[in-house]
Each structure stands twice: as C-alpha cells, then as structure tokens.
C-alpha cells in the first residue's frame, strides 16, 4: 500500500478517535452536572424551611398548613402544589387556594374565603350559615340580622356539608343581593315548583325568574327596594334591565 494512503488512513482513524473521546467527555460532564443539580435539589439547603399563609380571616393558618400536607424539611422541588391546594379547598371556609413555591425554601399559601349568603334551618332544628354555592360554613345560635333567611330548604348541620344541587338556588340568589338591601328582606323562598322568590319584610314579593344573570338581578332588586320600599306589592326582576313593579295600593 502506498505509504501516503496508509498515513491518511491512520490520520482519519486518529481524528475519529479524538471525536469519540470528546463526545464521551462532554456526555460524562453533562451527566455529572445533572447528577450534581439533582443532588443539590434534595439537599437540606433546598428543603422547605418556611410555610406562610395569607388571605385568611376565619380559617386558622395552622389548619391551612396541616391540610396542605407539606411539611418543613420536605424537598421544595418536588412539593405537589396542586394537590396541596385541593386539600386546603376542602376546609369549610376556603373557597379558593393557591400554593406557591418560593426559592430558596418557602411554601406560600394564599386563600380566598367563602362568604355567608344566608341562614337556614338544619335537619336537627339548629341554624347554620350557608354560602352562595350551598356549603354549610358555621353553626348559628339564631339567624343574624345581616343575613337573609332561606325557606323551603333544610340542610345538614355539619360544617362543610353541601346543600343538594337542586336546593342551591335560594342561596345563589341570596348571595347576589347587595348587603345594603338585606335588612329589607324577610326570606328567600324555594317554592314547591322549584322557583325562587324573595319575600320583603314590608310584605312585598319579588319574582326572580330563571336562575341566571343573578348579580344583575340582585342589583335591580336592591335599586327598586331603595327607591320604593315599603310600598312594593310585587316586583319582577326576571329581566334585570326591565324590572316590573306594582305598588301597594294607598302606600306612599
């Protein structure tokens, strides 16, 4: 074989060997770096050191942390934030929970609490406060003056219990009525035909219609009550933009 050809082949083989060596070295370095990074994530330096809670009022922060299930000393990188938030949202007063991971070592809970919408009687004869989605929030000694009373529905007395889906309409209506109008209300009633009406303390009756567009219907109800009560005989807010009013004869 020509010496020049042999030399060329030797040079090609050596070049290929050097390339393979570089690839092996680079791959090894990457593996080392990845292993080092993974090891660092699971060292005590990056464990959960602090758990904070914001946004609560009635809910004890300790209950939030306990429900979340993430503990000090757990690896921060692998904490399941979505699962923790779902567990916190099972607490009676919690309507929405978010959980954030903050480096180097903090888990932060932020919660939005539910608001009582109405008072209702429970199956054991007691009173409870219920939110607009039908969750029982707290036991009451008596219906408070700042909450409307729901009639036609009896709920479970246990805090955290859910009202049956077919019975939640009155609570949704109560939640939509602005607080300023509530003193004028006597009750929010689930009628036998499953419609919802509002009975005013002065004796008038409000027809709600379909259980949709409730915030606008609540505002319409409050506006008419402010302007006309106690002279309302009937009020129909089925179409929120065009409420229909009949006055009590001889009133005002």
CA 52 to each of CA 44, 64, 71, 75, 105: distance values in angstroms, whole numbers, following the listed order: 19, 9, 12, 16, 11
pLDDT of res. 36: 44
pLDDT of res. 144: 87
For residue 242, the tally of other CB atoms under 10 A from its CB is 9
Is the Cα torsion angle 112, 117, 123, 126 positive or negative in sign? positive
pLDDT of res. 17: 55
For residue 107, the tally of other CB atoms under 10 A from its CB is 24
Strand ranges of the sheet holding 106-113, from the earlier edge strand across to the other edge: 50-54, 106-113, 94-102
Ordered mean pLDDT values, 10 residues apiece, the chain (252 residues)? 55 57 53 47 71 92 96 92 96 95 93 95 95 95 90 94 94 95 93 95 94 96 92 95 93 74
Helices (H), the chain: 3-41, 61-68, 81-88, 169-176, 214-228
The rounded distance, in Å, linking the Cα atoms of 142 and 128 is 8
pTM here is: 0.76
55-91 core/surface letters (b: 16 or more CB in 10 A; e: else)? ebeebeeebbbebbebeeeeebeebebeebbebbeeb
Q: Compute the half-sphere exposure of residue 64: CA atoms within 13 Å on the CB side of its CA.
A: 26
């Amino acid at each position: 074989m020509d010496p020049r050809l042999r030399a060329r082949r030797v040079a090609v083989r050596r070049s290929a060997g050097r390339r393979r060596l570089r690839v092996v070295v680079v791959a090894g370095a990457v593996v080392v770096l990845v292993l080092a990074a993974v090891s660092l994530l699971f060292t005590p330096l990056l464990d959960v050191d602090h758990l904070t809670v914001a946004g609560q009022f009635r809910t004890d922060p300790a209950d939030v942390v306990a429900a979340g299930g993430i503990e000090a000393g757990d690896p921060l990188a692998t904490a399941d934030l979505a699962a923790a938030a779902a567990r916190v949202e099972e607490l009676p007063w919690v309507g929405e929970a978010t959980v954030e991971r903050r480096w180097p070592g903090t888990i932060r809970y932020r919660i939005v609490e539910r608001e009582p919408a109405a008072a209702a009687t429970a199956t054991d004869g007691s009173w409870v406060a219920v939110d607009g989605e039908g969750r029982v929030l707290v036991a009451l000694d008596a219906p408070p003056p700042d909450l409307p009373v729901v009639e036609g529905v009896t709920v479970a007395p246990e805090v955290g219990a859910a009202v049956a889906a077919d019975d939640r309409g009155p609570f949704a209506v109560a939640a939509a009525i602005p607080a300023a109008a509530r003193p004028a209300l006597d009750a929010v009633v689930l009628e036998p035909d499953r419609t919802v009406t509002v009975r005013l303390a002065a004796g008038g009756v409000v027809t709600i219609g379909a259980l949709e567009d409730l915030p606008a219907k609540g505002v319409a109800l409050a506006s008419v009550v402010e302007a006309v009560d106690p002279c309302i005989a009937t009020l129909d807010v089925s179409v929120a933009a065009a409420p229909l009013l009949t006055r009590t004869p001889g009133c005002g």
